[in-house]
Amino acid sequence: MAKRFEGLRIWRVALDLCEDVYRVTGHGAFARDFGLKDQIRRAAVSVMSNVAEGYERDGDREFRQFLFVAKGSCGEVRAQLHLARKLGYVDQPTFEDLYGQVMNATRMLAALIKAIGASDHRGKKYRYS
């Protein structure tokens, strides 16, 4: 049972995704495309931040809403990765690695959203790690 958002597995996965997005966007043509670079970074940070912010809220309803926002941000990252691949900013192996990470985060968020929705603890914190 996680007592802080840092103990949530999904938060750690999102943190790793952010780190990798920052690393990939920090050099080459990607680094010079300020619009796309900034947007994909913001979307990746949004996944991690919304998990944390939602966890710090007062109950399942708010936490679940923030998880939906985080899941939407995963979609943004995926869309932006497709554009980066099409523009030649990332090679196929890098695309596949990042895409796999974001899909893993998406699945984890969907599972947590579902678990919280099925919880008998309405209005209280659903605990998971």
Range of the domain at 75: 9-117
> 37 lies in a domain?
yes
Across the chain, mean pLDDT equals: 92
Residue 63's pLDDT is: 96
Structurally, how many domains does the chain consist of? 1
> 30 lies in a domain?
yes
Over the stretch 22-69, which tens digit does the pLDDT of each residue have? 999 999 999 999 999 999 999 999 999 999 999 999 789 999 999 999
Residue 2's pLDDT is: 74
> 3 lies in a domain?
no
Half-sphere exposure of 88 (CA within 13 A, CB side): 2
Residue 73 pLDDT exceeds 80: yes
> 32 lies in a domain?
yes
Domain with 39 in it: what CATH number?
1.20.1440.60
* Contact indicator for 71, 129 with CB cutoff of 8 Å: no
Q: One-letter amino acid identity for 108?
A: M
> 53 lies in a domain?
yes
Residue 24's pLDDT is: 98
